[in-house]
Amino acid sequence: MNQSSFQNYEHALEFDRRSMSDIRMELADRLVEAMDLKGSERVLDVATGTGRFARPVAKHLANGTIVGVDESLAMFRVSKESDQEVIPHYERIAGTAECIPLADNTFDKAWVAFSLHHFSSAAAMAREATRVLKPGGRLFVLDPVVLPADDALDAALRTLINEVFQRSHGAGFRFFTVDEISQLMRESGLEVAVADTHAYAADQDGTEGIPTGRHWIEVIDELENRPVDLRARFQHRYFQYEKKAATVHVKGKFNYGLVAGEKAG
């Protein structure tokens, strides 16, 4: 995972602020619902960050525990300094998603939320999460997704989107499709049990409240210098946009995938 910016305290503060958006909180509820917690599970939060997704999960664990793994000490610092209540049943440990410092077959469930696109090796993360799951355990991935390419123009658009995001997040950044996340699950030895796309409509000035939204403005800026057919395809498949002086009005859908894989019993 490219962690250079995530190790920065100011960046961690901003990340935590953005994590409180309505869309993220609604998606957190969908994640909790999909996990179907009984209350006594031991669960793993991969790339836990400041614990924003651990908090709603903890409410459903009367006797269980959450272990949050992250390599960013700045994220841990922000989490500890938060003025919110301490997250119950939650402990943090330092470690990477690609090499989780925990024993085999020890977790009932694991999840990774809004981090898959940052990992230097999403495949390594999936293998590691599978390793630490008990037989019958499930891994849940919640992440922004791109749409599958139907032709060369779609493929060129996807390449452009990833290239623009890589300028801010590093060469390892990559958005996946829901089918590709499902394939990651299968390649790590999991059977796909859930593969859903949740689309959220937007019709607003700017991208405040939209996860990864500010970088979509950078995509728009880049498209201004690209062929008309590429711009038209973007507006057809993602969202329309209109520049008004220093403001960009966006109207369309933003897509998020929720995929779960189960380890053989």
Structure tokens at 179: 């089918």
18 within domain boundaries:
yes
1 within domain boundaries:
no
254 within domain boundaries:
yes
> Three-class SS of residue 209?
coil
Structure tokens at 48: 């836990």
Instruction: Find the mean pLDDT for residues 168-188.
Output: 94
Q: Give me the percent of the chain exceeding a pLDDT of 90.
A: 74
Beta-carbon count within 10 A of 188 CB: 21
pLDDT above 50: residue 174: yes
32 within domain boundaries:
yes
> Three-class SS of residue 125?
helix
What are the residues whose beta carbons fall under 8 Å from the beta carbon of 164, sequence distance 6 or more?
215, 218, 219, 222
Query: How many whole angstroms separate alpha carbon 202 and alpha carbon 241?
Result: 11
Number of domains in the chain: 1
Query: For 23-42, how does the pLDDT look when each residue is reduced to its tens digit (9 = 90+)?
Result: 999 999 999 999 999 999 99
| CATH number of the domain that residue 139 is part of | 3.40.50.150
4 within domain boundaries:
no
Beta-carbon count within 10 A of 118 CB: 22
Residue 95 binned pLDDT confidence (cut-offs 50, 70, 90):
very high
Query: How many whole angstroms separate alpha carbon 260 and alpha carbon 192?
Result: 6
> Three-class SS of residue 240?
strand
Structure tokens at 47: 């790339």
Question: CB burial class (10 A; 0-12, 13-18, 19+) of residue 247?
Answer: exposed
The Cα-based distances of 109 to 35, 99, 220 in angstroms read: 8, 17, 38
154 within domain boundaries:
yes
* Residues comprising the chain, all counted: 265
Q: How high is the pLDDT of residue 172?
A: 87
Q: Which domain holds residue 226?
A: 9-263
Structure tokens at 50: 């400041």
Q: By mean pLDDT, which of 112-116, 206-210, 232-236 is the weakest?
A: 206-210
Amino acid found at 141:
V
Q: How high is the pLDDT of residue 157?
A: 97
Could you give the maximum distance between any two Cα atoms of the chain, in Å?
58
Instruction: Find the mean pLDDT for residues 86-104.
Output: 93
2 within domain boundaries:
no
Residue 6 binned pLDDT confidence (cut-offs 50, 70, 90):
very low
Query: How many whole angstroms separate alpha carbon 62 and alpha carbon 187?
Result: 34
Question: Hey, CA dihedral for 78, 80, 83, 84, is it positive or negative?
Answer: positive
Q: How high is the pLDDT of residue 83?
A: 52
3 within domain boundaries:
no
Secondary structure element (H or E) that encloses residue 107, with its range:
strand 107-113
Beta-carbon count within 10 A of 264 CB: 9
> Does 172 or 35 have the greater pLDDT score?
35
